[in-house]
Amino acid sequence: MGPGKHVSDRRCLRSQRSRVAVAVLVFVATLAIILPPAILVSLRKDNYSMGPKAKVFVPLYVYPTPGAWDPLLNVISAHPDVNFTVVVNPGSGPGPSPLPDGNYTKEVPKLAAHDNVRLLGYVATTYAKRNISLVRKEIETYAAWSTISGDPNLAVRGIFFDETPQQYDAGDLVYLEELTSIVRRTPGLGPDNFVFHNPGAIPDSRYLSTADSTVVFEATYDTFQERDGAKLFEGIPDSDRSQLCAVIHSVPESVGGSELRGLVRQARRIADEIFITHLSTDYYASFSGKWKEFVRMMAQ
Ligand SMILES: *[C@@H]1O[C@H](CO)[C@@H](O)[C@H](O)[C@H]1NC(C)=O
Ligand SMILES: *[C@@H]1O[C@H](CO)[C@@H](O)[C@H](O)[C@H]1NC(C)=O
Ligand SMILES: *[C@@H]1O[C@H](CO)[C@@H](O)[C@H](O)[C@H]1NC(C)=O
């Protein structure tokens, strides 16, 4: 047991220590190189698995008693990177007066003030059979809201034409083209001058190009499943998801969490505008219990 041995022991310990230190360094360096891409890959996989981003479409057929629109205003503020297309409908159209009632004139500007909201005014067309002068008058009523009220935020940026035809008819196409050109040239509907159609189902594809977006599915969750949602729109010639909107209602309460995620993902793959609700009656008259969860999934 001389000092020499002692020294060699110490040396041995020192070299062992440095070997451990090198091993730790190598391990940490390896982690530093491998981990960030691994994290990125898993994030990317997560994003990818939700499909392309889509806008939340909201048929807001809810009367704006004070607070009634708060569930919508709250998610709009909470998710500034989600875009919302919101249809307002004061009276199956703009209503009989130049301006809607005081609750509307107070609440509409709150929605319009958000950059991630595109407001549209509801107008019925009764399958292209409604007197087009009356339709034009309603479009002009919405367009005049901000000038008449003096409030730049009491305004819509386009029109949601409800009950547009499905079957092709040359006269109906001319009718819809005329409405589109009215919306496009009306300054009070800027800057978007957006045209939305709702035939409620896949229309003749010749109608699609007259609108910026078209509701090609408006039915229950069960129908979406039966018709194999993911393949639903394969049959529409010359269209792509950027032109399409899907409205799925009557989703069973039991469909939440990963099952709801699956539905949202499937819808995002086929349509750029989506509304999903668990309500099975008056689907557009209030917000379902899973409304916030749905919007969170749209944000992912
Ligand atoms: C949301 O709207 C903004 C402004 O129009 C646009 O730049 C952005 O791409 C939109 N995002 C989605 C996900 O639609
Ligand atoms: C706004 O809504 C409330 C509650 O429904 C109602 O009592 C009130 O008369 C409405 N105000 C206007 C100006 O219509
Ligand atoms: C449409 O309505 C306008 C204005 O009310 C009226 O003058 C016109 O005759 C109507 N046209 C048809 C085809 O009913």
In order along its 300 residues, the chain shows pLDDT tens digits of: 333 334 444 444 444 555 555 565 555 555 555 555 554 444 544 444 788 999 999 999 999 999 999 999 999 999 999 999 999 999 999 999 999 999 999 999 999 999 999 999 999 999 999 999 999 999 999 999 999 999 999 999 999 999 999 999 999 999 999 999 999 999 999 999 999 999 998 999 999 999 999 999 999 999 999 887 767 777 677 678 899 999 999 999 999 999 999 999 999 999 999 999 999 999 999 999 999 999 999 999
Q: So what's the pLDDT on residue 25?
A: 57
Residues 6+ apart with CB under 8 A from 256: 290, 293
Answer yes or no: is the C-beta of 254 below 6 A from any ligand 3 atom. Answer: no
Please name which ligand lies nearest the alpha carbon of 131: 3
Phi first, then psi: give them for residue 194, nearest 5 degrees: -85, 140
Q: Which of 221, 219, 201 is nearest to 278 (CA)?
A: 221
pTM of the model: 0.85
Ligand 2 contact, 91 CB (< 6 A) = no
Helix 70-78 to helix 102-112 angle, to the nearest 10 degrees?
10
Report strand pairing: 158-162 vs 117-124: parallel
So what's the pLDDT on residue 8? 42
d(CA 146, CA 170): 35
Ligand 1 lined by 83 (C-beta under 6 Å): yes
The finding on whether 53 has its CB within 6 A of some atom of ligand 1 is: yes
Q: Which residues of 264-282 are buried (b: 16+ CB within 10 A; e: fewer)?
A: bbbbbebbbbbbbbbbeee
Which pLDDT score, from 0 to 100, does residue 26 have? Answer: 57
Q: Pocket of ligand 3, candidates 133, 135, 178: which has the most ligand atoms within 8 Å of its Cβ, to mutate?
A: 133
Residue with CA closest to ligand 1 atom 5: 116
Instruction: Please report the pLDDT score of residue 292 as a whole number.
Output: 97
Cβ of 55 closer than 6 Å to ligand 1, yes or no, is yes
Handedness of CA 207, 213, 214, 216 (dihedral sign): positive
Ligand 3, from 126, 131, 140: best to mutate by most atoms within 8 Å of Cβ? 131
Q: How far is 220 from 276, CA to CA, in rounded Å?
A: 10
Separation between Cα atoms, residue 8 and residue 231, nearest integer Å: 75
The ligand minimizing its distance to the Cα of 67 is 2
Token pair for residue 183? 């919306």
Instruction: Find where tokens 């749905």 sit.
Output: 294
